[in-house]
Chains A and B, each alone.
Chain A
Amino acid sequence: EVQLVESGGGLVQPGGSLRLSCAASGFTFSDHYVDWVRQAPGKGLEWVGRTRNKVSSYTTEYAASVKGRFTISRDDSKNSVDMQMNSLKIEDTAVYYCTRLEGGGRGWYPIDYWGQGTLVTVSS
């Protein structure tokens, strides 16, 4: 059974930092890209960023709203993905979801599995 379990959410002050983790199980992690998607309270879904796999040189992509502040990394030996969030803003308050893409390598892949999410609250 595919499982994605996020952790690391919590309350942080504006300008602060937080590190989210996503632990994956039930599939060959190294075969898949992973995206982070967030949802502000009462709002819609927003794509945050992507980590590709070894086949694609572990490259990353980011939404403009987080580029330069968030860094996504992965450790295939631990089947995990981290997202380091720095210089946090009030508007970063959201539930953050770790998602698995259907594949990895050349081509475009849809999200097929979602984690349960972890809440990040940025407030003074």
Chain B
Amino acid sequence: DIQMTQSPSSLSASVGDRVTITCRTSQGISNYLAWFQQKPGKAPKSLIYAASSLQSGVPSRFSGSGSGTDFTLTISSLQPEDFATYYCQQYNNYPLTFGGGTKVEIK
């Protein structure tokens, strides 16, 4: 199975901050990486696919980059509605696997 290592597991940030979350895979996955946002008590929401493509309706302050084994999710200017937990997922090897999550909290 491909192991997904997300870091940090949590972070505190202020509104307006630039936030970067990393995801590392145990083997190369080209660009078959997705990012999801989950707020407490809610279903996850799809943010990014193919490492850097935004899903429809996702604000442009979200961006993704990377290929192979190292990926990043960046929020350019954190907004109040962005406080949530973020997960990465590789989707080109079975079993599909998720990172452990990064909780973004208010400083």
Give chain A's interface residues, CB within 8 Å of chain B: 35, 37, 44-47, 61, 63-64, 97, 102, 108-117
B56-107 with Cβ < 8 A to chain A:
87, 89, 91-92, 94-101
A113–B43 CA distance with the chains assembled, in angstroms: 10
Whether A112 contacts B46 by the Cβ 8 Å rule is yes
Task: Write the nearest CB–CB distance from B27 to chain A, whole angstroms.
Answer: 15
A109–B43 CA distance with the chains assembled, in angstroms: 19
Q: Which residues of A contact B44 (CB under 8 A)?
A: 37, 45, 97, 114
Q: Which residues of A contact B91 (CB under 8 A)?
A: 108-111
Q: Which residues of B contact A64 (CB under 8 A)?
A: 95
- Give which listed residue, A45, A112, A115, contacts B98 with CB less than 8 A: A45
Q: Which residues of A contact B21 (CB under 8 A)?
A: none
A112–B55 CA distance with the chains assembled, in angstroms: 7
Q: For residue A49, which residue of chain B has the nearest CB?
A: B95
Q: Which residues of B contact A45 (CB under 8 A)?
A: 36, 44, 87, 89, 98, 101
Whether A110 contacts B49 by the Cβ 8 Å rule is yes
Q: For residue A97, which residue of chain B has the nearest CB?
A: B43
Whether B94 contacts A61 by the Cβ 8 Å rule is yes
Total contacting residues, chain B, CB less than 8 A: 22
Q: Which residues of A contact B45 (CB under 8 A)?
A: 114
A47–B1 CA distance with the chains assembled, in angstroms: 12
Given A109-B91, A114-B44, A115-B43, check contact A102 B98 (CB 8 Å): no
Task: Write the nearest CB–CB distance from B54 to chain A, whole angstroms.
Answer: 11
A113–B49 CA distance with the chains assembled, in angstroms: 12
Q: Which residues of A contact B23 (CB under 8 A)?
A: none
Q: Which residues of B contact A46 (CB under 8 A)?
A: 98
Q: Which residues of B contact A117 (CB under 8 A)?
A: 43
Whether B94 contacts A114 by the Cβ 8 Å rule is no
Q: For residue B98, which residue of chain A has the nearest CB?
A: A45
Given A44-B100, A44-B101, A46-B98, check contact A110 B43 (CB 8 Å): no
A114–B34 CA distance with the chains assembled, in angstroms: 14
0 or 1 for each of B10-52: is its CB under 8 Å from A? (1 = yes): 0000000000000000000000101010000001111001100
In the complex, which of the residues A63, A97, A108 has the most CB atoms of chain B within 10 Å of its own CB atom?
A108
